[in-house]
Structure 1
Amino acid sequence: MKAHRPLLARAPSADSEARLSRRVLLGGGAGLALAACLPTWAAPGPSTGCAAAGPRRVIAAGGALTEIVYALGAQECLVANDLTSQYPPSAARLPKIGYVRTLSAEGVLSLLPDLLLAGAEAGPPNVLAQIAAAGVAVTRFMHGYTTDLVLASILRVAQALRMPSEGKRVATQFAHDWQGVRADVSQRYGAALRPRVLFILGHTGNQMMVAGQDTAADAMLGFAGADNALRGFTGYRPLTAEGAIAARPDVVLTTHTGTGTTDAAAKLLAQPGLANTPAGRYRRIVLFDALYLLGFGPRLPQAVAELARKVHAA
């Protein structure tokens, strides 16, 4: 591994992230005008290789960060990623460094990276510190569920890869698509009755975990013109049969990973309490890929548009 000064870049403050994204939103001129159209960006950008002055061996710890690298066209620099990085399909075939929350310094360093892009969930913190102490640049990203943070993440990844023009291109397209989706959702569903949606994390074993406030699912439902059927708590908690009945969901939303959708609706409806809800009686179950729904990456506009269509049609 080439020697260079260790760097553990702290995630910037929320205020600085918001200022950065506002500059992109306001600086794009006519290209960012409000458009009542569905998103146009969904596929990875064309491969442009690694920047001449940028890192040559990059590891991404976070599915959204992997997507951003591909959107920038910098996939040739990516030598590994974590288990949450399942999109695009070629990213799923890269060497894996394990689960994003339980990284191993030895495993990461064995791949001789120049740069580790560490998502908000990446850790443990002592492992990130060990990787930085070994001479690897570590760029960290903030926790949150806003478009400001997505925009800021796009620009920070581009900065870390020394690809500012590609970063501006992807951020501008994202902002354009996002404004179009927001206008479309408002026009189509703004006057409609907001469905009550119960989100169940679909890959947690036998225990049903449901989303409260300050979660990606809660934010996504708000963007899609729907209401979270469970509020008054933050994060995730187990769902009881009594809680399911009291929530009175019109729709149950759940996730899967990869292609594992077999009998998901039947399994959910077999859980105590769910069959006795409006969603259960009318079998209103909506399934989404976990990374697509909750990743808050470059595909966010597409995910919101699809979620709005599905929960309002269920």
Structure 2
Amino acid sequence: MSRFRMTCLWAAVALSMVSGSVQADRANIVSAGGSITEIIYALGAQDRLVARDTTSTFPQEAQALPNVGYVRALSPEGVLAMKPGLILAEDDAGPPETLELLREANVPLVLIPDVSTSEGIATKIRAVGDALGVDEPANELAKQVTAQMKVVADRAAKVPEHSRKRVLFVLSLQGGRILAAGHDTEASSVIELAGAVNAMNGFSGYKPVSEEAVIAAAPDIILMMDRRGAGMADDAAVLSLPALAATPAGQEMALIRMDGQYLLGFGPRTAQAVTELADRIYGPAGS
């Protein structure tokens, strides 16, 4: 056994193993996943949190908690240093080596299903509620969110097929190269929920795309995460890129930026985020 593995195991020697439903004291929770953290706050269980990951940026008070790193690049040492009684993580958390070490260290670990649909949000809320032992409030929250998402779906269904805007989600720009969202992505799901069409449906996941592919996709709107900081290109600079300038979106200077966790988190605020996106694409409902 490596020294690193032994250190991790000794750090968690006092923690007990669980199987099936969580039998831990449900205190000293480490949350790995922005939507999970949002749900914990929405259920009023935030006093149990001792740490969160970098995607857990809402509500703002969550940012005062210790940060254990990015949800898909967690450090077992950082997590175990929090002496967690329970770890709640999105089901794509990782890396696998970290999850293995946490399990070997007898840390109660629950992976929460993360599916980018209305039903997936309700399932996620109920799973968090089950792990926390607050099933009734979780069921109520899931019902509220489901009702809100039905309103969103009904609005999207009223958009005529011939009027649906083509939206290109740009995840990043590296050296002018566009990393775009294909199908089977959170971005594609939220675009469709807003009653629009993902302009890049010919591939799965997030992939670099050529200038020719962008022009052929002919997006009406460019959608990006609203990231702050030095080196971030402003709207004019983005839309002046040759690949984008030649599209309807570039010609109309149509670029929408929204907070990434709000837009793509698929948590309690998703109906609000989709409604805002639809308003910005088509104008407010009823206008």
Match of 2:198 among 228, 235, 240: 228
- Look up the match of 1:163: 134
By how many angstroms is 1:132 displaced? 2.1
1:213-265 superposed Cα distances (whole Å, 9 cap, x missing partner): 10011111111110111112100111222122111111111112468897531
Structure 1 residue 266 displacement after superposition: 1.9
Tell me, yes or no, if the aligned pair for 2:129 and 2:138 is still in contact at 8 Å: yes
Are residue 240 (structure 1) and residue 210 (structure 2) matched? yes
2:84 to 92, 113, 116: 113
Corresponding position of 2:8? none
Q: Which sections of structure 1, spanning at least 5 residues, go unmatched?
A: 11-52
* 1:260-312 C-alpha deviation (Å, 9 max, x unpaired): 89753123113231111110011000111111111111111111111111122
Q: Which moved more, 1:243-252 or 1:199-208?
A: 199-208
Q: Which amino acid aligns with 1:254?
A: M
Identity %: 39
Partner of 2:72: 101
Structure ranking higher on relative contact order (CA contacts 8 Å, 6+ apart) = 1
Q: Is residue 91–residue 113 contact of structure 2 (8 Å, CA) maintained in 1?
A: yes
CA positional deviation for 1:183: 2.3
Q: Could you say what secondary structure the match of 1:7 adopts?
A: coil
| 1:301 alignment counterpart | 271
- Asked whether the equivalents of residues 8 and 139 of structure 1 are also in contact (C-alpha less than 8 Å), the reply is no
Residues 84-163 of structure 1 mapped to structure 2, 5 A cutoff: 84-163=55-134
Relative to the length of structure 1, the TM-score reads 0.79
Does structure 2 conserve the Cα–Cα contact (< 8 Å) formed by 1:9 and 1:138?
no
Asked if the contact 1:9/1:139 (under 8 Å) is kept, the reply is: no
Letter of the structure 2 residue corresponding to residue 71 of structure 1: A
Structure 1 residue aligned with 2:7? none
After TM superposition, give the deviation of residue 204 of structure 1 in Å. Answer: 6.4
1:71 corresponds, among 22, 38, 42, to: 42
For the 8 Å contact 1:196–1:248, the answer to whether it is kept is: yes
Q: 1: distance between equivalents of 2:241 and 2:161?
A: 33
Q: Structure 1 CA distance, aligned partners of 2:239 and 2:210?
A: 13
Matched residue, 1:39? none
Normalising by the residue count of structure 2, what TM-score does the alignment of the two structures yield? Answer: 0.87
Give how far 1:208 is off: 2.1
Mapped partners of 1:175, 1:261: distance in 2: 39
- State how far apart, in whole Å, the 1-side matches of 2:160 and 2:101 are: 49
Which ranges in structure 2 are unaligned for 5 or more consecutive residues? 1-11
Aligned to 1:5: 16
The match for 1:251 among 197, 221, 236 is 221
